[in-house]
Amino acid sequence: MPIAVYFILASLILAAGLVFLLRGLLKAAMAEVNSRYPEHVRVLTSPMANLFGIQSGGMKQIRGNGILLLTSSQLYFRMLLPRRELLVPLGSITSVETPKSFLGKTKGRKLLKIDFRNDVGDTDSAAWLVPDLEKWVETIRGQAELN
């Protein structure tokens, strides 16, 4: 059998293993998020949002999939791998935009970008690739009372 066939088979096995791992991580993270934020307190949820990074973290951050949710008082993101959380009170959000890139990264589609004041009062921002982008933008603007 040609070596290319072995390479393709190994790649398929690796990809299947990664999908299996990601599904397990997502299931565990959803259980954690569901216990912390019951459905009745969630306004919007995107279980596979793709974080493009946090401005203060610089350009060398890797993108990461995770759960993005909005409540009546905060925007919360739980990255799957590496395990990381971002919690932004709605009162700290200063603007919502839809750029096509963030920190030099793009997927050729518009992103959900929020500007906010962090825990020490400095301006920061974060961006995600989410389904239903316009719904996220309108709902965050409404919840955070932005124009």
Count of the separate structural domains present in the chain: 1
Sign of CA dihedral 109, 88, 85, 58: positive
Q: Give the model confidence (pLDDT) of 46-91 as tens digits.
A: 998 999 999 999 988 888 999 999 999 999 999 988 889 999 999 9
- Structural domain containing residue 9: 3-143
Q: What CATH number did the domain enclosing 61 receive?
A: 2.30.29.30
Query: What confidence category does residue 45 fall into, taking pLDDT thresholds of 50, 70 and 90?
Result: very high
Q: How far apart are CA 118 and CA 56, in angstroms?
A: 10
List, in order, residues 6 or more apart from 124 with CB less than 8 Å away: 54, 55, 56, 115, 116, 117, 118
In a 3-state reduction of DSSP, which class is residue 36? helix
